[in-house]
């Protein structure tokens, strides 16, 4: 029986095969871990959407959308909450968007490096502040002095929540505008302010609108600031911002705590409406971003 000595090339081939096998196993393990992590991110969202849809879609009816809650008794609908959200959220948007966009323009185009860093850091901290603290802050300055819960204070609370989101997203979008566009405009003798308005803002308009829509979706679902400011009301309030006003998050919070099944079902229906609104806004944002990337 003859034996062949293992050549150097054969030994290297064996080592290479073992290395390739080990790399293949490592690759398959990491792929499995990545898929599992993606499932961990997706499953909770799918579960929430499924659970709210199953419980809420059956509670949707004409009464829920067109009738106000009964002041003394069980029944009615969520008309006051729907109208309240349609008033306070747009008003908060009108307050937060101009301030946030102008702050972002100052930071991106005019401020020095240290000033810009301080403003960005402050906006990042404000994003992380719990919304209930913002509610207490607004309560101290816009509710206690007037001894009256009011919808205007609720809108201010929502605007404070939206402001740093709008500011930071706009700042990031303006930073993506090529410097060559600014330089070309300035080289033609266009004033700095006109360059910002006509070139920079117009170029980043799609991204700015995306940030505004995301901030609006977040504000629409906030409850804590409204508990200390708008308070909520079973009466339909249209246009009187100096008095309490209901909103969908408040309606859900109040009705979900009641010991009556019909009110709990109304809370599920309102939760479904709010979830659909937030999902539609987010899908619209993603579709717009995808459309812009496809066009470019």
Q: With CA atoms as reference, report the closest residue to 206 among 168, 177, 179, 184.
A: 177
Q: How many whole angstroms separate alpha carbon 92 and alpha carbon 252?
A: 20
Residue range 82-247 forms a domain whose CATH class is mainly alpha
The model's pTM is: 0.85
Contacts of 22 (CB under 8 A, 6+ apart): none
| Angle value at C-alpha 229, between 239 and 64, nearest 5 degrees | 60
In this structure, of 4-13, 146-155, 277-286, the range with the lowest mean pLDDT score is 4-13
Write down the pLDDT at residue 265: 93
Task: Report the phi/psi class of residue 114: left, alpha or beta, with left for phi > 0 and alpha for psi in -120 to 50.
Answer: alpha
- pLDDT of 172-209, one tens digit each? 999 999 999 999 999 999 999 999 999 999 999 888 98
Q: With CA atoms as reference, report the closest residue to 171 among 128, 109, 129, 221.
A: 109
Confidence band, pLDDT 50/70/90 cuts, at residue 25:
confident
- pLDDT of 53-105, one tens digit each? 999 998 899 999 999 888 666 778 999 999 999 999 999 999 999 999 999 99
């Amino acid at each position: 029986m003859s034996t062949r000595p293992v050549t150097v090339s054969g030994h290297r081939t064996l080592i290479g095969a073992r290395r390739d096998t080990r790399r293949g196993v490592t690759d398959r393990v990491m792929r499995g871990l990545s898929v599992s992590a993606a499932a961990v991110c997706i499953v909770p969202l799918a579960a929430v959407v499924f659970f709210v849809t199953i419980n809420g879609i059956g509670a949707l009816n004409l009464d829920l959308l067109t009738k106000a809650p009964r002041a003394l008794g069980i029944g009615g609908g969520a008309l006051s909450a729907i109208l309240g959200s349609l008033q306070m959220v747009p008003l908060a948007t009108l307050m937060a968007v101009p301030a946030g966009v102008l702050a972002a323009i100052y930071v991106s185009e005019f401020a020095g490096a240290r000033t810009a860093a301080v403003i960005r850091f402050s906006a990042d901290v404000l994003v992380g502040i719990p919304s209930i603290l913002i509610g207490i802050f607004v309560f101290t300055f816009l509710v206690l002095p007037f001894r009256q819960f009011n919808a205007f204070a609720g809108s201010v609370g929502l605007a404070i929540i939206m402001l740093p989101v709008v500011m930071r997203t706009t700042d990031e979008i303006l930073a993506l505008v090529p410097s060559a566009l600014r330089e070309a405009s300035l080289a033609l003798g266009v004033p700095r302010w006109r360059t910002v308005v006509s070139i920079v803002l117009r170029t980043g308009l799609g991204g700015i609108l995306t940030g505004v829509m995301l901030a609006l979706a977040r504000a629409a679902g906030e409850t804590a600031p409204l508990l200390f400011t708008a308070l909520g009301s079973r009466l339909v309030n249209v246009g009187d911002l100096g008095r309490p006003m209901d909103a969908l998050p408040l309606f859900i919070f109040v009705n979900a705590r009641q010991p009556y099944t019909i009110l709990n079902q109304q809370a599920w229906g309102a939760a479904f409406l709010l979830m659909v609104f937030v999902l539609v806004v987010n899908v619209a944002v993603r579709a717009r971003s995808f459309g812009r990337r496809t066009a470019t």
